A and B are shown apart, each in its own frame.
Chain A
Amino acid sequence: MIQIRSLTKVFKETGREVVALCDVKIDIQKGECVLIGGTSGSGKTTLLNVVGCLTRPTSGEVLIDHNATSGLPEHFLSDLRRRKIGFVFQQYHLFTGYTAIENVGMPLVPKGVREAERRRRAGYLLDSLGLHGRADFPVNELSGGEQQRVAIARALINDPDIIIADEPSSNIDAGNAAKIIEIFVELIRRGKTFLITAHNGLLTKQLPVTSSYVLENGRMK
């Protein structure tokens, strides 16, 4: 499903080059749950961003369903992200000033889905993630764990094949982390492909991880 071939990403910061990823190679099959480990600054988030088409590689290639993504024009990438990929950010990146249900329905707006239908689908997802009764709360009034579940619901609203989650349990307490793991386990059971980063052992122990990799200074260990 996802082939990562000799991936290198170099950032240019204030005149000097920082190698974030160097010659990373991973193959991920449909329905697999792949865990990327490593210390902070090892390149985990950059790898997810490149695979999720949020940034282009300096060299190498990411293939999704055998299609190379790095050369695609921006509007194709937008379409690909909308159809295929659901992103769960470490910092949630929800839209403050909007309610939970509005946040979850946001990816449906460009598809022209009417508001009533957006509310119906988003409401269903929020209910299934245990956020019944929180749908119309502004997201900034929700706890960290609830916000993370809203972010997961938003990632799932387009029913993507691939879920990319960057440190999904790092900013929440153990109880909420357990709930999120439970949700992920269910999604993996339903055949979703997962690419997750984590630097603690909780996820590693409780998720049905099919393969795991560790990055160190942008290289695979």
Chain B
Amino acid sequence: MAIFIPLFVVMACAAVMTFIKDGIYKDALNTVSTLPDITVQQTAGGRVSYVQEELAKEISADPSLRKVVPRAWGYVPLVVPGGGIASYTLMGVDVGSAFSSQDISLAIGSGRFLSASDKNCAVVGKIFAAQNKVDLGGTILLTDESGNETAFTIIGIFKSSSQIHTADLIVTDIESARTFLGYSRNESSDLAVYLKEPQFADQVSKDILVSRKNVRALTKEDLATAIKQGYDGKAGIFQLAWLILLLSVLVLAWAQASSISLEMKKEIGVLKAIGWSILDIIELKMMEVVIIGLGGILCGILFGMFFVYMGAPLVKQYFLGWAVVYPQFPLPISIEGSSIFLLFVIGLFPLSAATIFPAWLTGTIEPDSAIRSG
């Protein structure tokens, strides 16, 4: 019974870790779904440079492409409610090239997406709108690097399952973005390339690279790998925490095994003396560990669920990572059946082994010896 409280604490920590990790990972996967099949960048001296209009025209000539969308990216500092400055992403897309919100897998929750005639209009994430207290028809005032202010009218709000992707995102038309970010008329940050047959992205990216110099072509898969690694590992925090928690479970299991050898030997000897067989004893120990173990694990998981639904106070910022420059948004959480199963396995298996094995070992010695040594 003494194992219950430490097991509860360890499993609560493991559950919190798992639910946050799953949430962030799921969010990362949602971000991946917003990526184009290929992202083409121009380089100069090995560094990313502005993409010229000629490159977009050249690449667009390839018949295997569905469309090539020039994009202008930049970062905009904005005072967040409650103080501090957060860095938001301004993405200008060429709406004239038939770009739609579906291309970045972001459904519109309210309002509409940009049309070709929209100038200085913006579509923002739900959290952005809530935090900056703007709604449809409202305006946000953005300040460029020269200190000039530009007002953007909110015409749409994303209904996204990807909090990380849309929390800092302001989507506008490419011309407005170019003007605001100081790009010249024919320049863009990169080209979002959409293929007729996305499964051939590797081959098409190779073709783009073979025929051109100073160009970088990144497939969705390349970027997905980078994003997943970044989120999944989260700078090693998850791995480290998992290692600590796993070690904690093993230490608990060891403590359990030790307590059996000291305290339970006599009990096992007496049980054998009154007619219990080794199998009866193992069955009893199994039931004990399952009841206590399941109880501790279940309470830990339930507490973990409660904790993450309360917003994971104290630990949230550690998992969001770069929150010093990032807007505030709720920690994404996800509670998967497979993760809960994994938590039960991780909690129960070492504990069961640490209980059953010593019980069996003690059960094999003579009752007289077991009673005397206990």
Enumerate chain A interface residues (CB-CB to B < 8 A): 49, 52, 54-56, 74-75, 78-79, 81-83, 87, 89, 93, 95, 106-107, 109-110, 154-155, 158
Contacts and interface: CB of A to CB of B under 8 A. Distances in A.
Contact of A87 (B266, B273, B277, B280): B273
Nearest to A50: B368
B368 A81 contact: no
Nearest to A107: B274
A109 B277 contact: no
B277 A78 contact: yes
Given A78-B275, A82-B275, A109-B280, A55 B270 contact: no
20 contacts: A52-B273, A54-B273, A54-B366, A54-B371, A55-B367, A56-B366, A78-B277, A81-B272, A81-B273, A81-B275, A82-B274, A82-B275, A87-B273, A89-B270, A89-B371, A93-B266, A93-B273, A106-B271, A107-B276, A109-B284
A99 to B, nearest CB: 16
A66 B68 CA distance: 97
B369 interface: yes
Interface of B: 266-267, 269-280, 284, 364, 366-369, 371
Contacts, number: 62
Contacts of B271: 106
Contact of A78 (B267, B276, B368, B369): B276
A107 B270 contact: no
A104 to B, nearest CB: 10
Nearest to B366: A55
B278 A87 contact: no
User: Which of B266, B364, B367 has the most chain A CB atoms closer than 10 A to its own CB?
Assistant: B367
Given A93-B371, A95-B270, A110 B275 contact: yes
A109 B276 contact: yes
Contacts of B369: 55
Contacts of A74: 277-278, 364
A87 to B, nearest CB: 5
The winner among A78, A82, A107 for most chain B CB atoms within 10 A is A78
A34 B29 CA distance: 81
B274 A106 contact: yes
Contact of A49 (B266, B270, B275, B368): B368
Nearest to B371: A93
A158 B277 CA distance: 15
A158 B275 contact: yes
B9 to A, nearest CB: 23
A65 B278 CA distance: 24
A169 to B, nearest CB: 20
Given A74-B278, A83-B275, 15 more contacts: A52-B273, A54-B269, A55-B368, A56-B366, A75-B279, A79-B277, A81-B272, A81-B273, A81-B275, A82-B275, A89-B371, A93-B270, A93-B273, A107-B275, A110-B275
A177 to B, nearest CB: 23
A61 B371 CA distance: 23
Nearest to B369: A55
